[in-house]
Structure 1
């Protein structure tokens, strides 16, 4: 069973994203990324990405991610804060430490495609 199904599929991960997005919006260092974009759109994109990433061996295209994020000027510190919040919410909703590590390791493989500013 893959991680997407293991924890309950779309409904579980949708709730995860609801909690995560609230934390993201409240983050002093990350909230400015939400000013010019539609949060529901980001949430839907993230849910689709999670489903593909957690439910198969397929990888999301780094070129596509780089194109989406290139003008956002995301720093390594921003990415680290994003991961920190992600880990806290994973723990809060009951993801095992082992599965949380697996998820974060997978996300880390996309750092170079998302971070565009030192």
Structure 2
């Protein structure tokens, strides 16, 4: 039986740690950090944990419509999206996620570029 990435790397316990570490990096980043000013971080981290779980084949699910609505009023440019992907890559490596699995997760992010970049 083939295991999805969510189960392979420890389910919500690990995904939650990955997301919390990712947000430590995002908040400290000069390019993307300002997007999180005045944001309810516990709520956002909960949503992002479910979103990343979805990308990894886990049980939570987020539709592209939901993602688009959540980012509608943000002026996300290609630079911001690329920086996010670089930080996701870096963070997944810290958790010993295998290269091919990182590529799969990044491909899932990339598949949503058009609904995030320039959505405002």
Task: Indicate if the aligned counterparts of 2:51 and 2:61 stay in contact, CA closer than 8 A.
Answer: no
Unaligned runs of 5+ in 2: none
Q: Distance in 1 between matches of 2:60 and 2:12?
A: 18
**TM-score (structure 1 length as normaliser):** 0.91
- CA shift in 2, pair 1:19/1:75, >3 Å: same
Among residues 59, 72, 75, which one is paired with 2:74 in the alignment? 72
Number of equivalences:
118
Aligned: 1:86 with 2:88 = yes
Query: Which protein has the bigger helix share?
Result: 1
Q: Report the Cα distance in structure 1 between the residues aligned to 2:9 and 2:59, rounded to whole angstroms.
A: 18
Query: Is 1:101 aligned to residue 96 of structure 2?
Result: no
The whole-number CA distance in structure 1 between the counterparts of 2:58 and 2:40 is 28
1:13 aligned residue: 15
- 8 Å Cα contact 1:53-1:60 kept in structure 2: no
2:4 touches 2:57 (CA, 8 Å); kept in 1? yes
TM-score between the two structures when normalised by the length of structure 2: 0.89
Alpha-carbon RMSD across the aligned residues, in angstroms, is 2.0
Partner of 1:39: 41
Structure 1 position 4, deviation (Å): 0.5
